[in-house]
Amino acid sequence: MKASNVVTLLFIAMIFAVSMENAQAQKGGQMVRLARLVIDEAQLESYRQFLKEEIETSVKVEPGVLTLYAVFEKQNPTHLTILEIYADTASYRAHLKTPHFLKYKNGTADMVKSLELVEVDPLVPGMKIK
Amino acid sequence: MKASNVVTLLFIAMIFAVSMENAQAQKGGQMVRLARLVIDEAQLESYRQFLKEEIETSVKVEPGVLTLYAVFEKQNPTHLTILEIYADTASYRAHLKTPHFLKYKNGTADMVKSLELVEVDPLVPGMKIK
């Protein structure tokens, strides 16, 4: 294969890669996840306070944290699910380094009995809460 | 017990009941639920179309449907979770009678392999999606 053909192929591959990235950006590039946790019953009230403070601070001060919607099961209040929506993966990575997240993570480490993180695709990406 | 005392007791009980009801109303009276479904893989694309139309119509035309945020698991696309928020139980009951909900319910009856409805309490009731 001639060198000029190799250059042409590399150029086509580069255009393709850039257009894929643009397509991703046009989709909004949001990162959406479900976190499913089980909390130690004896420490549930303390856990709820840690989580509430962390959520309220994150949504208030981090533009890239679009929501952290946490719900506790009525029949099983130690079981919770959090719908997490970040503007993009960079926002998520920045979130992990914030003092309020680290305070929550370290403060609740021995309260969390199990944690499952499930990557998800929203059916209607622009959906809001009225 | 004298009749006047009975009247006084009934009056106190009435005041108590009314104040409890007000407390509930002040909490917003929202109904929040997680629906967890598993869909027949062979009919997944058709199911997604039914659900998308139902969700978009509900949120658009029903003021009491505050969100229906549906997510499909990336590793297991037949598994989905819907965060459902209604302004109150009356809004939810009205939703069940709408033509768009009935079209979805009847149209997808043989596509849904399992359905679990979990009543939940939000940690931060006024939380939105930015």
- How far is residue A88's CA from residue A65's CA, in Å, rounded to a whole number? 9
Closest residue by Cα to residue B122 from A51, A21, A29? A51
Q: Using CB atoms, which residue from B75, B83, B118 is nearest to A69? A: B83
- The low-confidence residues of chain A, meaning pLDDT below 70, are 1-4, 6-28
pLDDT at B116: 98
Q: A120, A121, A128: which to substitute to probe chain B, counting the most B Cβ within 10 Å?
A: A120
CB contacts, 8 Å: A32 with chain B: 71
Q: Which pair of structure tokens corresponds to residue A104?
A: 């929550």
Q: What is the mean pLDDT of residues B3-29?
A: 56
More confident residue, A21 or B42: B42
Asked if A68 contacts B127 with a C-beta cutoff of 8 angstroms, the reply is: yes
Q: Which domain does A48 fall in, by range?
A: 30-119
In chain B, count of helices (H) and strands (E)?
4, 4
Question: Is B111 a member of any domain?
Answer: yes
Q: Using CB atoms, which residue from B63, B71, B129 is nearest to A128? A: B129
User: What's the pTM value of the predicted model, to 2 decimals?
Assistant: 0.81
Asked if A108 contacts B37 with a C-beta cutoff of 8 angstroms, the reply is: no
Predicted-assembly ipTM surpassing the 0.95 threshold: no
Burial (CB < 10 A; 0-12, 13-18, 19+), residue B107, is middle
Whether residue B25 is predicted with pLDDT greater than 50 in this model: the reply is no
Q: What is the mean pLDDT of residues B16-35?
A: 64
Question: Is B45 a member of any domain?
Answer: yes
Question: Is B99 a member of any domain?
Answer: yes
CA atoms within 13 A on the CB side of A85: 22
Neighbours of A32 (CB within 10 A): 20
Question: Is B110 a member of any domain?
Answer: yes
Question: Is A98 a member of any domain?
Answer: yes
Is A130 in Cβ contact with B69 (below 8 Å)? no
Buried-exposed string A43-57: b where 16+ CB fall within 10 A, e elsewhere: beeebbebbeebbeb
- CA A69 vs. chain centroid, Å, equals 11
CA terminus-to-terminus distance, chain B: 60
Question: Is B8 a member of any domain?
Answer: no
Return the axis-axis angle of helices A44-61 and A99-107, rounded to nearest 10°. 170
Is A68 in Cβ contact with B130 (below 8 Å)? no
Is B67 in Cβ contact with A130 (below 8 Å)? yes
Whether residue B78 is predicted with pLDDT greater than 80 in this model: the reply is yes
Counted residue by residue, chain A has a size of 130
Number of domains comprising chain A:
1
- How far is residue B33's CA from residue A97's CA, in Å, rounded to a whole number? 31
The number of C-beta contacts closer than 8 angstroms across A and B is 114
Is A118 in Cβ contact with B52 (below 8 Å)? no
Question: Is A47 a member of any domain?
Answer: yes
Buried-exposed string A105-126: b where 16+ CB fall within 10 A, e elsewhere: eebbeebeeeeeebebebbbee
Residue type at position B52: K
Question: Is B82 a member of any domain?
Answer: yes
Q: What is the mean pLDDT of residues B20-41?
A: 76
CATH label of the domain that carries residue A37: 3.30.70.100
